[in-house]
Amino acid sequence: MIRIGFLDRSDPSWTAGASYSRSMVHALASAADERCEICVVSGTRSSLAALPPGVRTICAETPDLAPAQVRQIVKDERIDVLLPVTEALLPDTDCALIGWIPDFQHRHLQKYFTEAQRAQRDRHFGYLIGNCDAMMFSSEAVRADFRVFYPGFSGPSDAVHFCSSFASDAGLIKGDPGAVRQKYNLPEAFALVANQFWKHKNHRLVVEAVAQARKINPKVHVVMVGMLSDSRDVANPHLSEIVRRLTTEKLFENISVLGEVPFSDLVAILRSATEIIQPSEFEGWNTTVQDALALGKSVACSDIATHREQAPAAFFFPPDDASPLAAHLAAQDWSGGGWLGEAVEQTSLQAERERGRQWASGLIDFCVLVSAEFRTKGRARSKWVDPIDELKTNPLTYIDYLESQNRRLTQNEARLRTREEEAARKLQETREKAAESRRGLEERLRAAKEETQGALEKFYREKAKPLRMRVVEELRRVAGLPSKR
């Protein structure tokens, strides 16, 4: 039996990464047998909650895993193979390492990267590949790129088609999702684009397609969900351009931009959609497409190699021409809702679970192979170095490492600042509501006092004074005195 260590490196700026991790761990757990034991290695800031039965957690006491911690965990827990390795500066270790590169976008879409960014990625990937015993990729398309860009790699490689994370959560796909649709005031029929607003995700093509399609079919409606930021372009000019066009051309009547929504709401919106649109110019393997397929949804994808591999039955449109997508949208039936019903969803999810179990079984076979080769003959890796020595041996890679850590700390600081500002805002709102309530109570008390005073005066005028006069008259009569009346 071998012990497989699954390395969890959560990254809040890359939401798909958490989905990848969840689907991989649950699929590995479903396929695990006498050949292996699955262990999740993580820091306290993990994206892997509610792990499946049979999976053991090895958690460091810090938010993120440091290189020295990974090395010690591998040694203490006697891990045989570690995956997916994505960081260039992992320490020297006694187990087999399986590296993972999501895609080579910086090679295909150079216009979205500066020369320094492209060089940084090449250094990062080169150092990673030089220190891993095997490599895994999300698609055959990325694997083919790897063979072209790194022909000298002599270790084994494999394409791992991960399944949807929906397949592992029985309670997530349950009930009628209509309430969430009403919550966001969405029409009964709509198509969905669920992507972070990164420039290469190509939202602008969908906006242009809707602008053309609504001239033919005014009922066309597209919902856009995703983080409204791009870590590579903080100013986000392309997002400003999209919002400006939506406003000036009144496209908000046909396009709803929701931004980032809670995950449970996103799932309900996806279940309610009539179709999922994936317009990206480049992908390694897309989580939204996989989620849509897992639910039995129809999809419309940009015509790129990975999408052809992932969703061969999809409607394909060129990523640089909006007209075919516009014609497709205009021809759709927008009179009914998109929810397929729980029965259809569960049947489709069961097929997705079986597919995930099959690929996970293949991945375990791959781990067994890589571990056996490492034990029998090892591999000539590049020299591992501790960070303190990196400036002497590989300064550019060390600078890349420091920059990545700085970005992560900056993101954490920004999130904490946002939470602090939100907490301060809620506290201020609470104080204002309390002050308003106090003013209201004081006003009601004043009004009650005035009302009481008025009632007493009225009683005196109508009841008390005449009664007193009658008593005085009676006393005068008893005393034999003349009446004052």
Mean pLDDT, range 381-393, rounded to an integer: 51
pTM (2 decimals)?
0.74
Distance CA(168)–CA(25), nearest Å, equals 9
pLDDT band at 162 (very low <50, low <70, confident <90, very high): confident
For residue 271, which of 296, 254, 307 has the smallest C-alpha distance? Answer: 296
Containing 7, the helix (H) or strand (E) segment is strand 2-7
For residue 100, which of 74, 118, 114, 81 has the smallest C-alpha distance? Answer: 81
Q: Decide if pLDDT at 479 tops 60.
A: yes
- List, as one string, the DSSP characters of 244-298: HHHHHTTGGGTEEEEES--HHHHHHHHHH-SEEEE--S--SS-HHHHHHHHTT--
pLDDT band at 369 (very low <50, low <70, confident <90, very high): very high
User: pLDDT over 90 for what percent of the chain?
Assistant: 41
- Domain over 177-338 is classified CATH 3.40.50.2000: yes
Q: Decide if pLDDT at 388 tops 80.
A: no
Contact in structure between 161 and 142 (CB atoms under 8 Å): no
For residue 311, which of 102, 108, 107, 141 has the smallest C-alpha distance? Answer: 141
The predicted-structure confidence for 451-470, as pLDDT tens digits, reads as follows 888 877 777 666 666 767 77
Residues of the chain with CATH 3.40.50.2000: 2-166+352-384, 177-338
Contact in structure between 81 and 56 (CB atoms under 8 Å): no
Class of domain 2-166+352-384: alpha beta
For residue 256, which of 324, 190, 323 has the smallest C-alpha distance? Answer: 190
Mean pLDDT, range 311-326, rounded to an integer: 97
Contact in structure between 160 and 138 (CB atoms under 8 Å): yes
Q: Does the N-terminal peptide bond of residue 395 adopt cis geometry, omega within 30 degrees of 0?
A: no
The predicted-structure confidence for 115-129, as pLDDT tens digits, reads as follows 888 888 888 888 888
Q: What's the confidence (pLDDT) of residue 368? A: 93
Mean pLDDT, range 367-377, rounded to an integer: 89
| Alpha-carbon distances of 389 from 65, 87, 227, 366, 380, rounded to whole Å | 19, 17, 38, 34, 20
